[in-house]
Structure 1
Amino acid sequence: MVPPPPPPPPPSSQATAAAPAVASPQPLSVLVIGANGYFGSAICSAFLRASTPSHFFRVYGLVRREATARCLALAEVMPIVGSLSERDALAAKVQSRSKTWDVIVTCTEPSRADEAQHWDDLVALIQELAKASASLGVKPLVLASSGCKDYGMTGLDGAKDLAPHTESSPLQTHPLITGRMGAALRALAVAASTGNFDAAVVRATPVFGYSGSYYGAAFEYAAAFASAPGAEKRTLDFTTDRGTIMHGLHIDDCGEGYVALATTYLWGGEEGRRAVAGEVFNLSGRRYETLEEVGAALAREYGFGSGARFGVAAAELPPSVSDRNCDLVFGWSQWVSSDKIRRVTGWTDKRPLFADNIGTYRVAFEAAAQAGADDVEKARRRMAGNWGDDYLVAAP
């Protein structure tokens, strides 16, 4: 027989095990240039969520106005207020907050009046910050935001020769965003020539969620149509083809894509650095939707019992919607592959597609509109053809 184990010693004689020492996580510095916009704020939030037991991201946001700075501070983003046109003073101010930078993200867009100067100033600031950081042993990764409109459009859903745009597709950018595309490519060239930083270009498809970005125009179009006299007898009509491809991405997933590139570069060893540095990455949803899908979802959401029609002549639309320019939403057909970033980083989009969760996205957009959100007003002005706003978030 096996004897029973001895009784435990009395509590007073038990040894107290010392708690294992746990090292404090180390901060990594991220600078988001244009942090107050739709893209910038989402990217800031994504980095803040990406803490690990060993590291956390301390995020700094460069903005132009004190009022905007308060919003960043509330979101736990460290604000830096300054203008790109004041190169030397701004560089000194940014370096006073952190002498080294692990990641720098660009997501600005200038007014048309000073566009060329804006991009010159932006690249010059990056060079100065990167040179100072590299001299102290920290070579930054610059993630330069562009957009998938750089490739132009693809065919419609069902077209015989339909193929997705990839990172190697020819560039045929929209005239309004040529400068942004050129600046992103210039960042790649400067990184290669100076060696003070590494760079990657990020091209996202149109994005949605929260205040809506350009997808807000879809809600406002349907709402205006629904409020027109006789709407209860009508279908929800669109002038564009039902096969128009709307390849969108939730803004949260977009922000996570930037983080995936940064963490692969920072923690993936030499292989991870080589996989990211000097490359271009598309960000798009796991599949595209069609205008037929989105239009049908909008028709259900806004109470059009007879559904939606497509390819309708503009003269048949109610006057309240016939002058609305929604071509960038309903008329830009584009299928974009994001296989590369998925393969390199393991990133995947997780949020519901636009048509699958349209009621939730509508409620969020309407709340933002009622609150007078800047992003909503900016998108409205752009849909009306006014692209003259100062230093906006990069257009999707």
Structure 2
Amino acid sequence: MADTSSTPETCAITVLVIGASGYLGAGVCNAFLRGTGSPPGSRQFRVYGLVRRESAAQALAAAEVIPIIGSLSDRDALRDNLLSHSPIWDVIVTCTEPSRADPDAEDRHWEDILTLVQGLAASSVARGSRTLVLWSSGCKDYGATALHGASDLAPHTEDSPLQMHPIIRGRTEWAVRATEASTADNGAAGFDVAIIRATPMCGYSASYYGGLFDYAAASAAAVSSTKEPKVLKFSTDPNTIMHDLHLDDSADGYLALANAALFGGDDPEHGRPAVAGQAFNISGRRYQTLREVGTALAKEYGFDGGAQFGVPVEELPVKPGPTFSLVVGWSQWVGSEKIRKVTGWTDRRPLLAENLHVYRLAYEAAVGAGHSNVDAVKKRLAGDWN
């Protein structure tokens, strides 16, 4: 019988996730390992995760992600380390959240990533493989939309103008720069970029929606002794649009784009030409409002008087952190028809208010386990972006 076996290096599609220990990065790693939607009989994904700490590397290894410890700022050593694992990198995904305390340091972070991509792509293209880069940005790149019910309400699409908000300026600007670098000189750099702009995500350690659970729990404790009906109070408008989706759905969107680019051939509508150089929004099948989410939170945390909105900040029983308004006060409806049309992707998991009890339990379990992402988000919502 003939030996038809081959080594993992020759049969696997190599995927590098930069920032693999973060909330989004871990979700993307899992999505590629599952390989949902890949054509039957296609090569399997071999996922590598770039992290800075040994503790994070151990967690990746337990999840069957190959950990690589290194610093983006040590450019040559990191590039050589990665090329020693594989001279070809088929897919690179950026999932980082740099410090935003120093604009110059943040720019160096993004420049380091682009330099790394260029070095890995040069090795790949020399061996006949053009790297696909899925560059994570975010839907806040577009700014905010009107409130639910407003006459001028319209969704943000990939054609909407970008707004360089100070908090996310770096990621917005460098995503565009990376795309421009990939298309310069007729694509001579040897890689293609697709910008991913996803809405806020829920599930597991909850990301920024963990702040909602913390706020509701702290508010419940603050009014526990009152004899009047207990009310969960928000200072923002109940018609604020909260457009979310589950982490698994968002990560599957990344995989769907990779599948289209890797396996779709030259199809201009569903293959690599439809992905390369493009931006894609990833959002849930519908948006929710703060009224819907706040009412669900009030019920979940035992507020028999329900939820109240538009309350003056000084009358709130709990003073939220300085950036909590990004969670409950940033109204935004985001259209995701483009990725659905190109890849056939769709979201399947329940939205935040639809499954809030389960998501609360998952978040509390993450808190109890000392999940590093929980602590990082708490600091950011308190205004510490270092």
* TMscore range, shorter length: over 0.9
Paired position in structure 1 for 2:364: 366
Deviation at 1:117, TM superposition (A): 1.1
Number of the residue aligned with 1:73: 61
Q: Select 2:161's aligned residue among 170, 177, 193.
A: 170
Which of the residues 39, 43, 46 maps onto 1:55? 43
1:1-396 maps to which residues of 2 (within 5 A)? 26-50=11-35, 52-112=40-100, 113=102, 114-193=105-184, 194-229=188-223, 230=225, 233-271=229-267, 272-318=271-317, 320-321=318-319, 325-388=323-386
Q: Distance in 1 between matches of 2:283 and 2:67?
A: 29
Partner of 1:11: none
1:234 Cα deviation after fit: 2.1
Q: Distance in 2 between matches of 1:54 and 1:386?
A: 44
The answer for unaligned runs of 5 or more in structure 1 is 1-17, 389-396
Question: Is contact 2:284–2:347 with CA below 8 Å preserved after alignment?
Answer: yes
CA distance in 2, matches of 1:322, 1:212: 17
Whole-Å separation in 2 of the counterparts to 1:323 and 1:228? 16
TM-score of the superposition, structure 2-length normalised? Answer: 0.92
Could you tell me how far apart the structure 2 residues matched to 1:214 and 1:277 are? 30
The alignment-based identity, stated in percent, is 57
What's the Cα RMSD here?
Answer: 1.7
5+ residue gaps, structure 2, are none
CA distance in 1, matches of 2:98, 2:182: 22
Distance 1:290 1:119 in 2: 34
Equivalent residues of 1:148, 1:205 under 8 A apart: yes
Q: Contact (CA 8 Å) 2:87, 2:123: kept in 1 or not?
A: yes
Counterpart residue type for residue 353 of structure 2: A
CA distance in 2, matches of 1:124, 1:171: 24
Corresponding residue SS for 1:380? helix
The count of residues paired between Structure 1 and Structure 2 equals: 369
Superposed CA deviations along residues 85-114 of structure 1, whole A, max 9, x for unmatched, are 111111000000011011010111222331
- TM-score normalised to the size of structure 1? 0.90
CA contact 1:111–1:387 (8 Å) conserved in 2: yes
1:112-167: CA deviation from partner (whole Å, max 9, x where unpaired): 33111111111111001001110000111001000000000001000001000000
Is the CA contact (8 Å cut-off) linking 2:242 and 2:287 kept in structure 1?
Answer: yes
Listed one character per residue, the Cα deviations across residues 254-298 of structure 1 (whole Å, up to 9, x for unaligned) are 100000000000111101011000100000000000000001100
Answer with 1 or 2: which has the greater Rg.
1
